[in-house]
Every structure is written in C-alpha cells, then in structure tokens.
Structure 1
Amino acid sequence: MFKLTHPKLVTLAETEGYAEIADFLEDYAQGSIVPAICMAPDCDHTAELEPDQRADFREACGRPSMKCGLVIAGMN
C-alpha cells in the first residue's frame, strides 16, 4: 500500500515543483537518482540519492535521517 499523503513526501514533491504526488513518483520511479528529504521533524533539507536510500547520513542533523521519496511512498 502506497503512502501518498505522508507530510514529508508532500513537502518533497512540492519542493521539486510538483502539485501532484503521483506525477512526482511517476517521473522518478525508474530513475537512478531521486529526490530525498530529511525525516527529522524540524528539517526539510533535500538532496538527490539512490532510489532505495533509506537512511543516508545528514551532516547538519548528525544522524542518518535522509530518505528518498520512493521509499517514503512505499514503492521501494
């Protein structure tokens, strides 16, 4: 089951210029690099990571808090 309403996924899609989550996911579903966002509650830092990235280190937060949009949505 996909999680298309997760607040971090909505923020990530909007940051990338998408009004619709489905359009964002469709455009990046087969990509080798996809947008990711920091999952810390007080941080919305974004970066480009591998599509299966679940816990990339975020230097500013000091913890592995970056997650790619496809993982947040439950697609990967």
Structure 2
Amino acid sequence: MFNLIHPKLVTLAETEGYTEIVDFLEDYAQGGVVPAICMAPDCDHTADLEPDQRAGFCEACGRPSMKSGLVIAGMI
C-alpha cells in the first residue's frame, strides 16, 4: 500500500524541488541512489542513500533513522 501523504515524504520531495510527490517518485523509482530523510521528529536532514535504506545513519542527529523516499512511500 502506498503512502503518498506521509509528512516526511512531503518534506523530502519539497527539499528536492518537487511540488508533486508522484513526480518525485517517478524520477527516482529506478535510481541506484535516491533521496532519503531522517525520520526523527526533530530532524529533517536529507542525504542520497540506497533505494531500500530503512535505518541509515543520520549525520545531523547521529541516529540510525534515515529512510529512503521510496521506502516511506511504500514502493519498496
């Protein structure tokens, strides 16, 4: 099931310059590296990580809380 309204996904897409979540997902669906965002409530750090990343290290807050936009959306 896709989740195209998750607040962190919206923030990630906007940070990457997209106004539409679908456009963001279409552009990165086949990529080897995709934008990811920290899922911690008080951190919105972004980085390019693996498409299936679920617990990457956040360089801003130090937590293993980075998640790929594709994972957040439920595509992976």
TM-score range, shorter chain: over 0.9
The 2-side partners of 1:59 and 1:34 are apart by: 16
Q: What is the CA RMSD across the aligned residues, in angstroms?
A: 0.7
5 Å-filtered alignment, 1:1-76, equals 1-76=1-76
Q: Distance in 1 between matches of 2:62 and 2:70?
A: 23
* Structure 1 residues not aligned, in runs of 5+: none
Instruction: Give the secondary structure class of the aligned counterpart of 1:58.
Output: coil
Runs (4+) of structure 1 exceeding 2 A deviation are none
Structure 2 residues without counterparts, runs of 5 or longer: none
Q: TM-score, normalised on structure 1?
A: 0.96
Amino acid paired to 1:35: P
More strand, by proportion: 1
Identical counterparts, % of pairs: 86
Aligned length in residues = 76
Deviation at 1:2, TM superposition (A): 0.2
Shift of 1:57: 1.0
Q: What's the TM-score, normalizing by structure 2?
A: 0.96
Per-residue CA deviations over 1:11-49 (Å, capped at 9, x if unaligned) read 000000000000000000000000000000011100000
